Amino acid sequence: MSKPTATVQSDDNQPLLQLQHVTISPKVAPSRLLVNNVSFSIEAGKTTCVVGESGSGKSLTALSVMGLLSQQLQLNSGKILFNDSEVGLQDISLLNEKALQKIRGAKIAMIFQEPMTSLNPVLTIGYQIGESLTMHLGLKNQALKDKVASLLEMVGIPASRANSYPDELSGGQRQRVMIAMSIACEPRLLIADEPTTALDVTVQAQILKLLDDLKTRMNMGMLFITHDFGVVADIADNVVVMFRGEIVEAGTKQQVLDNPQHPYTKALLACVPDAEGKKDLKPIDYAWLSNPNSQSMGAAI
């Protein structure tokens, strides 16, 4: 039996990325669903924030798009449709590793959560930024150096730091290097997995503004993974809320923030402090979320 083709059809009116009923489980326990029936889409020039606490399936969903699930996990079912301007709409979950390598970095890029573990400590940042430029664009010698310098300056780092090693940079600078690496080939889709979690508030604001400006300048679609509704309020166009591997609510930023429908969304919003520090923060009532028919909703709303 032949393997189904990855290409579906070419349609300029289709979203940039569509996840359709994606399900992920351990290979040794296929019935134990870590991500269950997840569906949402991302448009070019728009940011979709996937929100939820640790363990909700946010990062697994993002890794499935990149084809980077660990060998212990499997994509049980569903489609991951990428609207590639060169080959049309294709299900990238069906592509082999060689085909995926042509897409990663060039058309879909990812910023990982902790830059110090993502950057090689024994290679200069200039070399690491240049790797994808050489692989995907064939740049070498002076053209490569000029492009690396341009990318560093674009993210607010002096071009002279190209010969620096990661441990010579601050946390915010390393995160900017990761951003420079991810946008080097001007991808159509950028996945950012909690890129500001380890940064202080001032640097976080700078990084968020930088990402939003780059998205607008390059007309990229952006999938932003976060647990922070404060970040959502700053950069999101659309919001997907995940709880225990499933989507419990989705909509525009205004719909979700101004009129949340699901108790879990309300509970997450109740955990966000206000600027004056006067808000009565409430813990999430997991007992009620597990049994929504209970008479007491506790702190879930």
What is the CATH classification number for the domain harbouring 101? 3.40.50.300
**Any domain includes 281:** no
Residue 91 and residue 20 share a domain: yes
How many domains are there within the chain?
2
Residue 50 sits in the same domain as residue 76: yes
Residue 270 falls inside a structural domain: no
The per-residue pLDDT for range 137-187, each reduced to its tens digit, is 999 999 999 999 999 998 889 999 999 999 999 888 898 899 899 989 989
CA distance 203 to 185: 25
- Is residue 146 situated within a structural domain? yes
Q: Are residues 45 and 80 in the same domain?
A: yes
pLDDT number for residue 293:
53
Q: Are residues 206 and 96 in the same domain?
A: yes
Looking at the domain assignment, is residue 205 inside a domain?
yes
87 and 210 assigned to the same domain: yes
Its domain, for residue 232, covers 7-106+188-261
In a domain, 266, yes or no: no
Query: Could you say which of 122, 153, 184 is where a domain stops?
Result: 184
Residue 212 CA, distance from chain mean position: 13
pLDDT at 211: 87
Q: How far is CA 118 from CA 110, 176, 224, 261, in A?
A: 11, 12, 18, 37
* Judgement on whether residues 94 and 124 belong to the same structural domain of the protein: no
Note whether residue 273 is domain-resident: no
Sign of the dihedral through C-alpha 112, 171, 176, 213 = positive
pLDDT at residue number 294: 47
Does residue 20 fall inside a structural domain? yes
d(CA 75, CA 64): 7
Looking at residue 14, its pLDDT comes to 86
Question: pLDDT tens digit string along 4-57?
Answer: 444 444 456 789 999 999 999 999 999 999 999 999 999 999 999 999 988 899
Give the whole-angstrom CA distance, residue 166 versus residue 129.
Answer: 12
In a shared domain, residues 93 and 124 = no
Q: Residue 104 half-sphere exposure, CB side, CA atoms within 13 Å?
A: 18
Examine the domain organization and report whether 102 and 20 are in the same domain: yes
* pLDDT tops 60 at residue 297: no
235 shares its domain with 162: no
CA 296 distance to own-chain centroid: 36
Q: Where are the alpha helices (DSSP H) in 67-123?
A: 97-103, 115-118
Give which of 169, 241, 160 is closest to 199, Cα–Cα.
Answer: 169
CB–CB of 50/223 below 8 Å? yes
Determine, yes or no, domain membership for 250: yes
Asked whether residue 139 falls in the same domain as residue 165, the answer is: yes
* Domain shared by 138 and 225, yes or no: no
Residue 126 has pLDDT above 90, yes or no: yes
Lowest-confidence segment of 33-42, 125-134, 250-259, 276-285 by average pLDDT: 276-285
pLDDT tens sequence across 249-268: 999 999 999 999 998 998 88
The β-bridge relationship of strands 238-243 and 47-51 is: parallel
Statement to judge: residues 11 and 149 lie in one domain? no
Best CA proximity match to 66, nearest among 197, 174, 187 = 187
**pTM across the whole model:** 0.86
- Residue ending a domain, among 184, 203, 224, is 184
Q: Taking the mean position of all CA atoms in its chain, how far away is CA 55?
A: 15
Nearest in space to 211 (alpha carbons), one of 200, 225, 198, 229: 225
- Give ∠ CA 90-93-95 in degrees, rounded to 5: 75
Whole-number pLDDT of residue 2 = 40
The predicted structure's pLDDT at residue 276:
67
**Does residue 298 have a pLDDT over 70?**
no
Q: Cα angle vertex 18, ends 15, 20, to 5°?
A: 145
Domain boundary among 163, 184, 205: 184
DSSP 8-state code for residue 137: I
The per-residue pLDDT for range 179-215, each reduced to its tens digit, is 899 989 989 999 999 887 767 788 788 888 888 888 9
